[in-house]
Amino acid sequence: MNRIFVPPIKCQGIKTKIVPLILANAEFRTDGIWYEPFMGSGVVGFNRRTATAVFSDINPHIIAFYSAIRTSQITPPMARAFLESEGAKLLIQGEKYYYEVRDRFNRGFSPLDFLFLSRACFNGMIRFNSKGEFNVPFCRKPQRFSPSYITKIVNQIKYVWEAARHYDWKFECAPFDRILAMASEQDMIYCDPPYLGRHVDYFNSWTEDDERRLYESLSQTKARFILSTWHSNKYRKNLLLDTLWSKFYTVTKEHFYHVGAKEDNRNAITEALVMNFPPICSELKKLKVKQTSLF
């Protein structure tokens, strides 16, 4: 079946719709390592499914969740039992129970509580305050965890759990420059940093100085890289593409993010893929990723 695997944890700016375009350009040696230093949802690397991969992020809760899956501290049956139990309490107690779990998570940082919050919070957002506390409000849907919804999440967890057991996948909480320094000529780097001035929080704030440090690191790497960034929207253009990133190749594609409380605030944006090699593919039309069985 031709389809894209959607991960159990979603993040703002998830690249689900343009995964085919990214992966069509992500060709490298079969013995190479896939490096994803801004993991976020992990949707690109999870669909690429290389034998060896390093997923990293500075958000410790994303890494703790996937590390728990990799080491079987979280398994699909465990996740099902947890979501069924917590979902039943949410259905009875509603908003009050959501905030009880949120307070519990901010004290103990349980990966399963993180999963619950990410699927029961407003608009599927992941946001932390300056104290490192999850602070997204409730989605106001007490019936959120229906049997079919739980099965969907459990299947998403199962995909990662099986892949992480079969492949050499590592999950690291580390700054991007430390991860990029590990890459060699046969490897592929995919970078999806926070977009300058867009949807940032305590864990993923991003400045122009950060962008310049990323540019310096990618300019020095011997590996192939693909960088996701924004090209323009109806209000403005990313000027750094014409200055900082101008020496590299660029492919653009219009994309639509479902972020914002009101439909009027959910506007189209033109994405840019910046790479240090000639693009293999520049069109998304009729392009699909072959989704096969894992093993």
Q: Is residue 152 part of a domain?
A: yes
pLDDT computed for residue 288 by the predictor? 43
Q: Does residue 113 form part of some domain?
A: yes
Q: Does residue 281 form part of some domain?
A: no
In a domain? residue 202: no
Beta bridge partners of 34: 53, 188
**For residue 116, is it within any domain?**
yes
What tens-digit pLDDT sequence spans the chain (295 residues)?
368 999 999 888 889 989 999 999 999 988 999 999 999 999 999 999 999 999 999 999 999 999 999 999 999 999 999 999 999 999 999 999 999 999 999 999 999 999 999 999 999 899 999 899 999 999 999 999 999 999 999 999 999 999 999 999 999 999 999 999 999 999 999 999 998 765 556 677 789 999 999 999 999 999 999 999 999 888 889 999 999 999 999 999 886 655 444 444 456 788 999 999 999 988 654 444 433 333 3
Q: Domains in the chain: how many in total?
A: 1
Residues of the domain holding 121: 76-156
Per the domain annotation, does 251 fall within a domain? no
Place of tokens 């998403």: 156
HEC letters along 74-127: CCHHHHHHHHHHHHHHHHHHCHHHHHHHHHHHHHHCCHHHHHHHHHHEHHHCCC
CATH code, 114:
1.10.1020.10
Phi, psi of 239 (to 5 degrees): -70, -20
pTM above 0.75, yes or no: yes
Query: What are the beta bridge partners of residue 168?
Result: 52
User: Is 65 a member of any domain?
Assistant: no
Tell me if 53 sits within 8 A of 189, measured CB to CB.
no
Mode of pairing for the β-strands spanning 224-232 and 268-275: antiparallel
> Is 145 within a domain?
yes
